[in-house]
Structure 1
């Protein structure tokens, strides 16, 4: 089917690659008409024409200055198509491409594919109501407003003029009989359809109208093809992928297998220095795989995942592009971890017991006032995290997220309390990976066992109780996503094994049987009287729960009673 397919190339950069691809097309019998952007230096243009002069099937059309979103790209396509139709009467299909396009399959595959569908126009064409991929905020308005200012060079003027037209209620009339359609600018039209568009008696009317449409290269041929085509296949034969901002993805050498998997005929945008891609796809592919239907959907999952990674990032790994924006992170941390408040105050060997029961790495008070108490009394943790309190408190949330990220795969546990840095509270509450277990009022146990003056104890107890009350309000917020367990000290002491069993099971520890050994609880003899003395001195310790004064939680701790049903 030599000569049945003609190629139009819109070129503005990497002229050496454009020549290489053009010769690949002509070697397969496909004539090529090249349009070089009018902004390209005249000397470069002349050298490009001279380099291609030995190939009689490569022609150059009149030049137009092309700017994104403007009429120049349509005018360039018209000029190239007109020359192609005049000089190559045997061409049946005309394929529009750019200088950054690269054939992925043998040209014969494409010509055979088109020969089997001689009256089909391949052009993505959908009404504004049917497309969801427009980026920029203008759908139907791009056909009813005027756009005298460049969106790229004069963004503020562009936006202000659009707002002015909206405020004045200005609206351009669409030529009679036209229903605006949009789609990819890379099409493959039959000679019959393209001739009808270019030779239409109303072409001057249509051209004047589309000159003031925004991004007309995505709507001119897409709209007019609907007037003349007998069979439109609303898709492009060119593989082009766009990111979430509407910018085309660039293909590099490491995308070789991805492009092969797509089974598409042509792809854009190819990096000009992707030597491996050009060498592979422009070589002799006579032994290529059996021809198949183009299926860009095969690689859609890869691009969808790339867009998701670009916009959301990875759990607990903060991207520079989103770091300043509170709430834009995809997960505050990367792995589940546990926070225990009051447990190390109530049990003498809680850290060691928890590590043995769960296999987790158990730290002390990571946010203690003096230093970060890493497990095994380390000074530096994974990722060169220092135990220096000043460095930690400069950005405590980053400190915790880095710690979890650097140790992901191993569950981290640490102690916390009202005497620690409280800037981390909202972070803990909002983090879905956090398990926060609090025994309220347990901070009073070290005060009870201390040798401080009672007046100092009373003042410190009032301070700690106020801090913990404010923390509990945060944990009880509607914004809390952490798994929170809060119990008063009195309730916990009544049945500590039951509470510990629940917490360990939630951590996912591999425990085939129930806990048979509990950590050692401190001696609470006289603690009830201690709380009563605080009350007598004018400080009301309410976070501990209802502790009787008769020392029942000391050596005479009352047993846990099982619930029963009253008939």
Structure 2
């Protein structure tokens, strides 16, 4: 019996019993520490269940709260009992009730027998540790932590701030260089006994009792004083997510665990019957003698962390949705937004759909309802045209629209009246292609038959709304592809901007447009704008239009070609 197993048990005592029997059948003595939070009656039943095995012992119980001293105290008590009751043990392997051997126990025994003076314990200085979570690195060794981080978080944070404010610092015992690492170690009898029997143990215990998460630093620091040969790694496969919480292994992780070549893994789900059956009762299915290599599956865990923290572009989930900047791309694909084009051109949506083969909607953020392509009431993803449901969360509405129609580029119209449109969202989305003809909203007013006083008031309102929209689009934080033309600038040579827009959409091979949309009749439009000026409203977003057509004795100015071959 060269390897002794110390088990720290908190929950799922039936599974812990199953694992303890597996260790003992292989010839390893087992000492179990049961959290004192476990009810006495449950503990007594657990002891009776294992009373038929002479090499299974139970040590004094301690209260084990997360990050508290009780975990170290339990490890100390169990280790002391192991060393006194089983003098033939050469290595002591610390595990938990949710740890399960992945390989035949005899392979672990042989592996450690070939390395009789090697201590396997992850031990690194705080400067070399990248995995600390919670904002405390060196301070965990220089401040006091009498309050529980999980149960008394407010007191924990305020007491840390209080110590920082007063500049209070604890003195590290002489000779101790703080190290950190996984709490799951395998130490030689010589090193472990030296730690437990050190004349200065009371001093060390008093110091580490107020260190934050001492189970990750007590043995890791003291082993450096006594070990002659440390391999700074754990033989237990233990993976943590980006929040510092351990990954839990389920039945569908069976092949993944076998690929790791590790001797032991935690943390197994108590109901993972397939895993327990495979590793505790099917030794032929275990891997053969090989060097433990958890790096073989690190890529999969890294991808899992990335999927949880970043996810797929344009797809939100509960863990990322409330966190600004965690969306990994606000939409999943490229889309185009046109403002003013449907006012300047007749049947612009029909022409654009024909020219590009995309799905072209009307005003998705129209005050009355979402104007889906071809007058649809419901589109992909059971998205209705209801303005109420759309306006409840306009950002989610647009992100869902692009996600539900992925694979097909979406185009829609925008106008100053579409006040619920998420302009900041659009401007910061790298997937958005936004094209604006400023002042084009005045064309429908020009063609209307309303009283001029009403037209003037409406023109002032729309100009103010569009000016606010343009301010957003011109923000230095903009990431969308944005082009803005004044109306006068655009109609002077419309084909060039249209061609550049279509080319950038990239729906077809690059070729010149053979058909142009029909432009609205703007005869008298310049005089309309002058009338607005005469009434005290300054329409500046349209650019410079001639007030009246050329006189009878004047030659018409040469017009740039509208159609191209």
The TM-score bracket by the shorter chain reads: over 0.9
Distance in 2 (CA, whole Å) between partners of 1:459 and 1:168 is 63
Distance in 2 (CA, whole Å) between partners of 1:69 and 1:285 is 35
Counterparts of residues 223-372 of structure 1 (less than 5 Å): 223-286=221-284, 288-324=286-322, 328-372=326-370
The 3-state SS of whatever aligns with 2:37 is: coil
Counterparts of residues 175-190 of structure 1 (less than 5 Å): 175-190=173-188
In structure 2, the partner of 1:116 is 114
Check 1:233–1:466 CA distance in 2 against 1; reply closer, same or farther (3 A cut).
Answer: same
Q: Give 1:551 deviation, angstroms.
A: 4.2
Counterparts of residues 359-398 of structure 1 (less than 5 Å): 359-398=357-396
Distance in 2 (CA, whole Å) between partners of 1:87 and 1:168 is 48
Check 1:406–1:131 CA distance in 2 against 1; reply closer, same or farther (3 A cut).
Answer: same
Distance in 1 (CA, whole Å) between partners of 2:540 and 2:148 is 68
Q: What is the CA deviation profile of residues 404-434 of structure 1, one whole-angstrom value per residue up to 9, with x for unaligned ones?
A: 2221221111111112225422221122221
In structure 1, the partner of 2:560 is 559
Distance in 1 (CA, whole Å) between partners of 2:526 and 2:160 is 74
Structure 1: gaps spanning 5 or more residues = 562-567
Distance in 2 (CA, whole Å) between partners of 1:546 and 1:405 is 41
Counterparts of residues 78-93 of structure 1 (less than 5 Å): 78-93=76-91
In structure 2, the partner of 1:565 is none
The 3-state SS of whatever aligns with 1:286 is: helix
Q: Give 1:40 deviation, angstroms.
A: 1.8
Q: Give 1:363 deviation, angstroms.
A: 0.4
TM-score (norm: length of structure 2): 0.93
Q: What is the CA deviation profile of residues 59-98 of structure 1, one whole-angstrom value per residue up to 9, with x for unaligned ones?
A: 2222222222222211211121122222222222111000
- Single out whichever of 439-448 and 309-318 deviates more from structure 2: 309-318
Q: Give 1:321 deviation, angstroms.
A: 4.6
Q: 2:505 aligns with which of 497, 504, 507?
A: 507
In structure 1, the partner of 2:124 is 126
- Single out whichever of 497-506 and 421-430 deviates more from structure 2: 421-430
1:10 and 2:42 correspond: no
Distance in 2 (CA, whole Å) between partners of 1:305 and 1:329 is 16
In structure 2, the partner of 1:545 is 543
Q: Give 1:165 deviation, angstroms.
A: 3.0
- Single out whichever of 408-417 and 539-548 deviates more from structure 2: 539-548
Kindly indicate whether the alpha-carbon contact (under 8 Å) linking 1:529 and 1:551 is maintained by their aligned counterparts in 2: no
In structure 2, the partner of 1:76 is 74
In structure 2, the partner of 1:192 is 190
Q: Give 1:374 deviation, angstroms.
A: 0.6
Kindly indicate whether the alpha-carbon contact (under 8 Å) linking 1:238 and 1:264 is maintained by their aligned counterparts in 2: yes
TM-score (norm: length of structure 1): 0.93
Distance in 2 (CA, whole Å) between partners of 1:368 and 1:67 is 56
Q: What is the CA deviation profile of residues 266-313 of structure 1, one whole-angstrom value per residue up to 9, with x for unaligned ones?
A: 111111111111011112323544433222222222222322333334
- Single out whichever of 377-386 and 446-455 deviates more from structure 2: 446-455
Distance in 2 (CA, whole Å) between partners of 1:169 and 1:539 is 65
The 3-state SS of whatever aligns with 2:283 is: coil
Check 1:153–1:369 CA distance in 2 against 1; reply closer, same or farther (3 A cut).
Answer: closer
Distance in 2 (CA, whole Å) between partners of 1:400 and 1:150 is 44
In structure 2, the partner of 1:404 is 402
Kindly indicate whether the alpha-carbon contact (under 8 Å) linking 1:331 and 1:431 is maintained by their aligned counterparts in 2: yes
Check 1:214–1:348 CA distance in 2 against 1; reply closer, same or farther (3 A cut).
Answer: same
The 3-state SS of whatever aligns with 2:436 is: strand
Q: 2:516 aligns with which of 515, 518, 523?
A: 518
Check 1:423–1:364 CA distance in 2 against 1; reply closer, same or farther (3 A cut).
Answer: closer
Q: 1:138 aligns with which of 136, 144, 148?
A: 136
Q: What is the CA deviation profile of residues 118-141 of structure 1, one whole-angstrom value per residue up to 9, with x for unaligned ones?
A: 221110111122212222333223
Q: Give 1:14 deviation, angstroms.
A: 0.9
In structure 2, the partner of 1:151 is 149
The number of aligned residues is 557
- Single out whichever of 136-145 and 324-333 deviates more from structure 2: 324-333
Check 1:393–1:215 CA distance in 2 against 1; reply closer, same or farther (3 A cut).
Answer: closer
Distance in 2 (CA, whole Å) between partners of 1:223 and 1:6 is 22
Kindly indicate whether the alpha-carbon contact (under 8 Å) linking 2:279 and 2:286 is maintained by their aligned counterparts in 1: no
Distance in 2 (CA, whole Å) between partners of 1:153 and 1:179 is 30
Counterparts of residues 3-82 of structure 1 (less than 5 Å): 3-82=1-80
Kindly indicate whether the alpha-carbon contact (under 8 Å) linking 2:103 and 2:288 is maintained by their aligned counterparts in 1: no
Check 1:468–1:160 CA distance in 2 against 1; reply closer, same or farther (3 A cut).
Answer: closer
Structure 2: gaps spanning 5 or more residues = 551-555
Kindly indicate whether the alpha-carbon contact (under 8 Å) linking 2:309 and 2:326 is maintained by their aligned counterparts in 1: no
In structure 1, the partner of 2:480 is 482
Distance in 2 (CA, whole Å) between partners of 1:261 and 1:17 is 23
Q: What is the CA deviation profile of residues 314-338 of structure 1, one whole-angstrom value per residue up to 9, with x for unaligned ones?
A: 3333334554555554332222111
